[in-house]
Amino acid sequence: VKRNQNEPEFQQAVYEVLESLQPVAERRPDLVEAGVFERIVEPERGIQFRVAWVDDNGKVQVNRGFRYQFNSAIGPYKGGIRLHPSVCASIIKFLGFEQIFKNSLTGLPIGGGKGGSDFDPKGKSDGEVMRFCQAFMTELSRHIGADTDVPAGDIGTGAREIGYMFGQYKRIRNEYVGVLTGKGLQWGGSLARTEATGYGLCYLVDAMLKDHGTSFEGKKVVISGSGNVAIYATQKATELGAKVIALSDSNGYVVDENGINLDVVKEIKEVRRGRIKEYVEAVPSAKYFEGKGIWNVKCDIALPCATQNEINEEDAKALVANGVQAVGEGANMPSTPEAIAVFQGSNILFAPAKAANAGGVATSALEMSQNSQRLSWTFEEVDSKLHQIMVNIYHNISSAAKEYGCEGNLVAGANIAGFLKVAEAMKAQGVM
Ligand code: NDP
């Protein structure tokens, strides 16, 4: 704790994982002896750097860049780059730590890492975003590589930013390699990567619902956020027969009892880069509410897809009181520990982020495979692999929970299943 003072998000993530690994520590003294528990909470490497760039007014701007290379026991470091004013060491470390287990759960050979910067892309011109990304990659390029560390997108880092970063890496290193994922389709990207996290979330929640004799069919769904994950979760949930009735952004939320019209949302968010409140201009029967409050909207299934700690204890109680049957986490750590306790204390199904949102990184790993082969698979091929991966994750975490005496607790199941694979590799590779 002392070593990670002033890092509340990181401590929160570590506590949650270590708590559920207690039964593993009891049953596996060999892993305790190999120091795996102490080693896994310490990043293998953390880089912090200055990112200086010139804005449209000719003024020099300075941001702070980070890359935490957390664990490479089962493959090259892999994890996104977050561009958001809230980015700090604690947030990147919590995300990098979680990524270890999530990547392990995919069943693919990828280690855990995460990076980012406190740069805010909102309100910046394309030229400013490009100059920032080039400056960011100028330093990052020394530390990453197709077989070393392969970053991807995250909040604030979409196809545009990945493009500028990839271009700069290529220019500096004179290598055309799969060093980033989430690339454009014309230059090494994978079909279905854009959709993967939102689709994957629905595939996993669908497997969980089916295991309990129900499905998305006819259910009312509330989804927070209106970014990449939220949009494609809306699309897949709708395809699976549900009605998505609410979406949000950091200013407020929109409720459309007739079912969200995704074409309108895509036009606002993907074309105009606008705000969710503009939805009611196109669909006047919908209602917009300023501020937080989306979790008071009555629904059967809640899919938080915005950001960390967006559901607190009170929100969780409101969801449960309104009869929610299942919660699937699309964002990373969207529920506070108190909120998770409320969900687990009531009779609802709860799919934790590490498992439920692993579809994005799984498809990124499939993008790496295609880059290594210098081939592109079809949408259907990637989507069907993604579907299978998510169903497998559900069954693996559910069995791990059962095996370790906490049947039905998918938080523990995900931590245990994700941990065991990495821990065996760390033990086999010796103390380092
Ligand atoms: P985007 O930047 O595309 O969208 C984020 C959405 O969340 C926006 O609607 C944003 O609103 C909202 N949001 C962000 N911060 C806050 C906040 N503090 N309060 C309320 N709303 C907020 O990001 P993604 O959709 O890619 O990512 C969403 C979450 O999913 C993150 O936790 C990310 O780490 C996680 N994730 C993403 C993956 C991916 O493949 N994209 C993979 C795995 C996890 P606004 O525009 O107002 O900021």
Q: Best substitution site from 249, 294, 382 to test ligand 1's pocket, by max atoms within 8 Å of Cβ?
A: 249
Q: Strand pairing partners for 78?
A: 112, 150
- In angstroms, the CA 160 to CA 128 distance is 12
Which pair of structure tokens corresponds to residue 67? 């890359």
State whether residue 224 is helix, strand or coil: coil
CB 176 within 8 A of CB 170: yes
364 Cβ closer than 6 Å to some ligand 1 atom: no
Is the pLDDT at 93 greater than 90, yes or no? yes
pLDDT band, residue 411 (cuts 50/70/90)? very high
Residue 79: C-alpha distances to residues 46, 65, 195, 431 (Å): 14, 15, 17, 24
Run of H or E including 290: strand 287-290
Given 93, 114, 183, 243, which residue is catalytic?
114
The sheet carrying 243-248 orders its strands as 287-290, 252-255, 243-248, 220-223, 301-303, 326-328, 349-351
To the query of whether residue 292 is one of the catalytic residues in this protein, the response is no
Q: Best substitution site from 99, 150, 228, 269 to test ligand 1's pocket, by max atoms within 8 Å of Cβ?
A: 228
249 Cβ closer than 6 Å to some ligand 1 atom: yes
Among candidate residues 94, 100, 159, the one with its CA nearest the CA of residue 307: 94
Q: Which whole number is the average pLDDT over 260-264?
A: 97
Is the pLDDT at 2 greater than 80, yes or no? no
* Ligand 1 centre distance from Cα of residue 230 (Å): 8
pLDDT band, residue 255 (cuts 50/70/90)? very high
- pLDDT per position as a tens digit, 170-180: 999 999 999 99
Q: Please, which residues have CB within 8 angstroms of residue 161's CB and are 6 or more apart in sequence?
A: 81, 83, 121, 129, 133, 153
- pLDDT per position as a tens digit, 325-357: 999 999 999 999 999 999 999 989 999 999 999
Among candidate residues 220, 174, 209, 149, the one with its CA nearest the CA of residue 356: 209
In the prediction, which pLDDT does 1 show? 64
Residue 323: CB atoms within 10 A of its CB come to 11
* Ligand 1 centre distance from Cα of residue 27 (Å): 38
115 Cβ closer than 6 Å to some ligand 1 atom: no
- In angstroms, the CA 189 to CA 200 distance is 18
Question: Residues of 61-78 as b/e, b for ≥16 C-beta within 10 angstroms?
Answer: bebebbbbbbbbbbbbbb
Nearest atom in ligand 1 to 197's CA: 40
* Ligand 1 centre distance from Cα of residue 379 (Å): 24
Residue 321: CB atoms within 10 A of its CB come to 11
- pLDDT per position as a tens digit, 360-399: 999 999 999 999 999 999 999 999 999 999 999 999 999 9
Task: Give the amino acid at 80.
Answer: G
* Ligand 1 centre distance from Cα of residue 28 (Å): 37
For the chain, how many residues are written? 432
409 Cβ closer than 6 Å to some ligand 1 atom: no
In the prediction, which pLDDT does 5 show? 85
Residue nearest to atom 42 of ligand 1 (CA): 360
- In angstroms, the CA 109 to CA 213 distance is 33
Strands 287-290 and 252-255: antiparallel
Q: Please, which residues have CB within 8 angstroms of residue 100's CB and are 6 or more apart in sequence?
A: 40, 70, 71, 111, 112, 418, 422
* Ligand 1 centre distance from Cα of residue 226 (Å): 8
Q: Which whole number is the average pLDDT over 281-291?
A: 97
Is the pLDDT at 198 greater than 80, yes or no? yes
226 Cβ closer than 6 Å to some ligand 1 atom: yes
Residue nearest to atom 48 of ligand 1 (CA): 250
Nearest atom in ligand 1 to 156's CA: 2
- In angstroms, the CA 114 to CA 100 distance is 10
* Ligand 1 centre distance from Cα of residue 392 (Å): 25
ipTM above 0.95, yes or no: yes
CB 196 within 8 A of CB 360: yes
Residue 363: C-alpha distances to residues 101, 116, 294, 303 (Å): 16, 20, 30, 20
260 phi and psi, to 5 degrees?
A: -60, 135
Look-up: residue for tokens 């854009």? 194
Nearest atom in ligand 1 to 229's CA: 25
- In angstroms, the CA 91 to CA 325 distance is 30
Question: Residues of 180-199 as b/e, b for ≥16 C-beta within 10 angstroms?
Answer: bbbbeeeebbbbbbbbbbbb
How many CA atoms are closer than 13 Å to the CA of 28, on its beta-carbon side? 18
Task: Give the amino acid at 285.
Answer: S
307 Cβ closer than 6 Å to some ligand 1 atom: yes
Run of H or E including 302: strand 301-303
Domains of the chain: 2-18+41-177 (3.40.50.10860), 195-356 (3.40.50.720)
In this prediction, what percent of the chain has a pLDDT beyond 70? 100
